[in-house]
Chain A
Amino acid sequence: MTQTISNPTPKDYKSEVKPTWCPGCGDFGVLNAAYRGLASMKLDPDRTVVVSGIGCSSRFPHFMKTFGFHSVHGRALPVAQGLKMARPDLTVFAVGGDGDMFSIGAGHLIHAALRNIDITVLVMDNEIYGLTKGQTSPTSPYGHVTKSTPYGLMASQFNPIATALSLNVSFVARGYSAKPKELAALIEQGIQHKGFSFIHALSPCPTFHHTFDAWDTSVTPIPADHNVRDKAQAVLLAMETERQFVGVFFREERETMDQAAYQLAQQAKPFAIEHYIKRYA
C-alpha cells in the first residue's frame, strides 16, 4: 500500500526549518539517514507522517517535508497508532528519545509491541535528558553522575533491544548515528516491514554525555551468520555489554492489528440511523 513518487532525492524530504540541535549532535546523522531512507523508498511525503513526542530528537518532524505531528512528552506511540488504525493507507514513522520512549512513554511501548500495528519507531538514544540540560535517563549507565544523580545513578540501565525482543516486537534493529548509510538501510527495512518495527539508534549528546569515542569502539556489526528468526540468539546479542551490536536482531511477519481491523471493516455498509434505531423500537 506504500505510495511512491518518482526519483526523489534526500533533499526532497528536507523542510526549510533549521534544526535547533547543538553542533555535533548525533541526531543530525539520524535525520540525514531518515532523508536518505525515505528517498531510497521513494515515499510520497504527502502520505507519510512523522510523529514525535517531546525532547531534543522529537523536534524531528519540523525538519521533514512530510506531514508531521509533534505531540506531547511520551505520547508519540499512541498518537501514531491511532493514526495508523484510522488511516492504514499512510506510512507512519514515530521518532523520539530515550526519555520519551523508555521513561514517560515506556508503558505505551509495551502495548504498541503487542498490537503489532504497522508503524516504525526510531528511538534516538543518548543516555541522557538533553532538552532539560543533563539529567539521568533510563538508559544511563549504573553509577552515572549527572545533575540529577550527583552521587551516581543507583538504578540499572534499561536494555532497549532485549526489552523489545521480550515484547515480541516483530522487527528489532539497532543503528548508530555516525553510520548514517547503514542506519538509512535499517529505516528502509523497518518501514518496509509489515508490523511494529523498532529501531534503536545510538545518537550521542556532545553537550551533556559525550559517548562518540566510546561508541565508536563498542559499536560492532551483528555477525553476518546471525539468523534474524533466532530470537534466543538475538537476546544473547542484545545482552552483551562490551560490544553494542548494530544491524537487524530479529524479524518475523505476523498479522498486524491495523490490517485485521481494515479487513473487518471491508464488510461495512453505509450507516442509516432510521435502520439502526429500530433495535430500540
Chain B
Amino acid sequence: MVNEVTIRIGGESGEGTVSGGDILALAAARWGYHVYTFRTFPAEILGGPCMFQVRISNQPVKSMGDYADVLICLNKEAYDRNISELRHGGVLIYDPSDFTPEAGDYIAYAIPFNWIARKEIQLFQTKNMVMLGAISGLFGPPQESILQVVHSKFSKSRKANATLLEKNVLALEAAKKFVNEKLSKRDPYLLGPVEKAERVVLNGNQAIVAGALMAKCRFFAGYPITPASDIMETMAKELPLVGGTFLQAEDEIAALAAVLGASFGGVRAMTATSGPGFSLMTELIGLSSMAELPAVIIDAQRAGPSTGMPTKMEQSDLSFALYASHGDTPRMIVAPASVADCYTLMITAFNMAERYQMPVLFLTDQALTARVESVESSVFVPAELQERVRPGADGSNGASEKELMSVASAAHGYARYAYTSTGISPMTAPGFGAPSYVATGLEHDEFGHPDYEPEDHTAMMHKRFRKLDTAAEELPTPQRYGDEQATIGIIGWGSTEGTIQEAVDRARAKGYKVASLHPKILSPLPDRTIRDFIGSVQKVIVPECNYSGQLANLLGAKYGLQAIRVNKFGGIPFTAGEILRAIEEVS
C-alpha cells in the first residue's frame, strides 16, 4: 500500500467540487498528512467546469503531482476534460447514471452518487458528502477527520442547521457503507495512520495577509482584481481589528497613490493587484522610488498580456517588474515560492521597503494565491521588524559620521535626502515633533528642494542606486539545492521551487548530477551566489511559466549565461515530471 495519493475531483462549479476538495484537504491535514492543492476556476461567475486536486502524503509535498492517482468525475464533461490526467493504472470513480467511461488502463469504481444523495438521503445537496464518504471509505482519511472539518465549517456557516448537518453525516455513512459492501478494493492507495503534527492549512493569499499584519502593515488600499481580491477583502476585515485603516480605491493608480500618502505619514502600507492593475501603477512606482517612500506592492501574476486569462497561472510579469516606470528607477523584487514564503517573505518585503525606502514588488502568482498547503505552525512566529532611519534627537542627521558623505547647510529643515555611503538617508513623518520636508518626484537636492543641476542629478542617481548595493550586501542569499558535484544546474524563480526540487530529487535518484538555485530576491540579485552556481555546472536550465524566458533573459544580460530555456505558458504550472524530462533531455 502507498501512503500517498493524488486525488482529482472534476465537476461543475457550485455543486460542491471545490468545497468537497477543501474539506478533504483539511481533513487529511488534520489527520497528520501533508497536503498540497491545485485547482482551476471556471470563467463563469456561477457554474462552469472546475477541478480540485489534492496531493496527500506522509512525506512533505513539494508539487501538485504529475498525474492524478484517483480521478473522480461528477459529470461527463469532467471525464472528458480530465481523463488524460489520470495515471496509467489509476482509479476512475464515476456515477453510472451520468455516463459510461470508455475502456482504459484504469481501475473503475462505479458509485451512484446521485441516487444515494437524491433517494437515500433525500437531499441532492449532500452529493459532495457522498463523494467524500466514498473517498474516505476507499483511501482515507477516516470519517471522523472529515466529520470534524464538516462540524467546524458548519459552526461558522449561516446557512447551517441541525437537519442539514445530520443529512451530511448520513450521506458520509451511506457512501462508506456502499463502498464497503458493494465494491471490492483493487487499487494500492490507502492512507494509513500517521503521527499528528503541529501544522496549519492555508493558501498563499491567506499567508500574505498574516505576514503583512505581522509586519505591522496598518494601511491597505486596493482595487478588485482576480486573483488578488481576497487579499484586499481580508485586509478590509482584519485591519480595523489591529488599529489599521483600509481604502477601496477608484482604480489602481489611486490605490498606490493612497499607499504612498499613508507611507509618507509613517504608516506601513501596501496594495495588492494583478498585471492589469500593476500596469496602471507604474507612474507611482517611479514616484515611490524617486521620493524614497517605502511601499509594498503585491502583483499576483496571471496569464497576460492585457486582460489575458485572469484565473490562470503565469510567471510573466518579471520583466515588467524589473523595469516598470520611466527613467532609471531602483526598486526591489521579492518572489515567494511557497505558502510559507508568502508569510516570511512578506515580512522581509516590509523590512526591505522600510530600510531601503523604495517600492518592493512582491511577485506571487495565481497558482500560489489559491494553492493550499499544510505548513508547520513553527513558520508562523513573530519576526524582527526594521524601522526607518530617523534623524538624531539633536537635530543631526541620523546617519553616522562615517556614513555621512556630505550635507550642505540649510536655512531650515534637514537633509532628508542626505548623501550617505549606504545611500539610505534619514526620514521623518509629520506630527512627532521631527523636522519637516517635502517629498517630491522632481529631482531634488539633499533637502528635497527642486534641483536640476547636472552634478546633483548625477549624485542623486548614484545615491538612490547605492541602496541596492547596500541591500545586496545585507540581504540573505539563496541556498543551493541538490548535488554538490552537479553538472546540470537549474535556476528558477517564484512558485515553481517545490516542483523543481522534486524533479532534482527524482533525477538524482536516477543517477543524474543535478542541483538547483532559486533566488527569492530578484532585485537586487545575489550576483556572487548566481555566478558561483553558474560556474559550478556545465549546463543551466531555466524553467519558467512564460513565453519569452524572462529570468533567462535577465541572467543572459547580467551574467552572459546561455541558458537552456524551458517554457510553459498554457496557464497551468509545471509538473515535476516535465522538469525531469528537461533534465533527461539535456543530459
Which residues of A approach B to under 8 Å, CB–CB?
3, 15-17, 20, 45-49, 51, 54, 59, 61-62, 65-72, 75, 77-87, 89-90, 107-108, 110-111, 258, 261-262, 264-265, 267-271, 273-274, 276-277, 280-281
Contacts of B437 in A (CB 8 A): 67-68
- Would you call B129 an interface residue if the criterion is a C-beta within 8 Å of the partner chain's C-beta atoms? no
Q: How far is the CA of A195 from the CA of B240 in the complex (A)?
A: 21
- Would you call B260 an interface residue if the criterion is a C-beta within 8 Å of the partner chain's C-beta atoms? yes
A78-B441 in contact given A83-B264, A280-B200 (Cβ < 8 Å): no
Is the Cβ of A280 less than 8 Å from the Cβ of B202? yes
Between-chain CB contacts (< 8 Å), 19 pairs: A17-B450, A46-B430, A51-B261, A68-B437, A69-B264, A71-B287, A72-B284, A72-B286, A82-B247, A82-B260, A87-B265, A111-B250, A265-B244, A267-B240, A269-B241, A269-B242, A273-B214, A280-B200, A281-B377
Q: How far is the CA of A265 from the CA of B255 in the complex (A)?
A: 20
A87-B267 in contact given A67-B438, A81-B247 (Cβ < 8 Å): yes
Contacts of B210 in A (CB 8 A): 273, 276-277
Is the Cβ of B265 less than 8 Å from the Cβ of A83? yes
Contacts of B284 in A (CB 8 A): 72, 75
Is the Cβ of A277 less than 8 Å from the Cβ of B287? no
Is the Cβ of B241 less than 8 Å from the Cβ of A273? no
Whole-angstrom distance between the Cβ of B509 and the nearest chain A Cβ: 33
A69-B439 in contact given A46-B430, A49-B264, A62-B449 (Cβ < 8 Å): yes
Is the Cβ of B430 less than 8 Å from the Cβ of A70? no
Is the Cβ of B213 less than 8 Å from the Cβ of A276? yes
Contacts of A67 in B (CB 8 A): 264, 430, 436-438
- Would you call B259 an interface residue if the criterion is a C-beta within 8 Å of the partner chain's C-beta atoms? yes
Whole-angstrom distance between the Cβ of B342 and the nearest chain A Cβ: 12
- Would you call B235 an interface residue if the criterion is a C-beta within 8 Å of the partner chain's C-beta atoms? no
Is the Cβ of B249 less than 8 Å from the Cβ of A268? no
**What are the interface flags for B238-273 relative to A under an 8 Å C-beta threshold, 1 for contact and 0 otherwise?**
011111111101110111011111101111010000
Whole-angstrom distance between the Cβ of B232 and the nearest chain A Cβ: 15
Whole-angstrom distance between the Cβ of B157 and the nearest chain A Cβ: 15
Whole-angstrom distance between the Cβ of B427 and the nearest chain A Cβ: 12
Q: How far is the CA of A258 from the CA of B267 in the complex (A)?
A: 15
Is the Cβ of A277 less than 8 Å from the Cβ of B265? no
A-B pairs, 10 with minimum CB distance: A82-B258, A82-B261, A86-B262, A68-B438, A268-B243, A83-B261, A78-B257, A78-B254, A87-B265, A79-B261
Q: How far is the CA of A87 from the CA of B435 in the complex (A)?
A: 17
Whole-angstrom distance between the Cβ of B204 and the nearest chain A Cβ: 12
Within 8 A of A (CB), among B420-452: 430-442, 449-450
Contacts of B6 in A (CB 8 A): none
Contacts of A69 in B (CB 8 A): 261, 264, 291, 438-440
- Would you call B557 an interface residue if the criterion is a C-beta within 8 Å of the partner chain's C-beta atoms? no
Is the Cβ of B261 less than 8 Å from the Cβ of A265? no
Q: How far is the CA of A85 from the CA of B441 in the complex (A)?
A: 22
Contacts of B259 in A (CB 8 A): 82
Within 8 A of A (CB), among B223-245: 239-245
A70-B442 in contact given A49-B430, A276-B213 (Cβ < 8 Å): yes
| Residue of A whose beta carbon sits closest to that of B449 | A17
Whole-angstrom distance between the Cβ of B284 and the nearest chain A Cβ: 7
- Would you call B219 an interface residue if the criterion is a C-beta within 8 Å of the partner chain's C-beta atoms? yes
Q: How far is the CA of A216 from the CA of B249 in the complex (A)?
A: 40
| Residue of B whose beta carbon sits closest to that of A281 | B200
- Would you call B218 an interface residue if the criterion is a C-beta within 8 Å of the partner chain's C-beta atoms? yes
Contacts of B435 in A (CB 8 A): 46
Is the Cβ of A82 less than 8 Å from the Cβ of B221? yes
Contacts of A87 in B (CB 8 A): 262, 265-267, 430-431
| Residue of B whose beta carbon sits closest to that of A117 | B247
Is the Cβ of B257 less than 8 Å from the Cβ of A82? yes
Q: How far is the CA of A70 from the CA of B245 in the complex (A)?
A: 23
- Would you call B158 an interface residue if the criterion is a C-beta within 8 Å of the partner chain's C-beta atoms? no
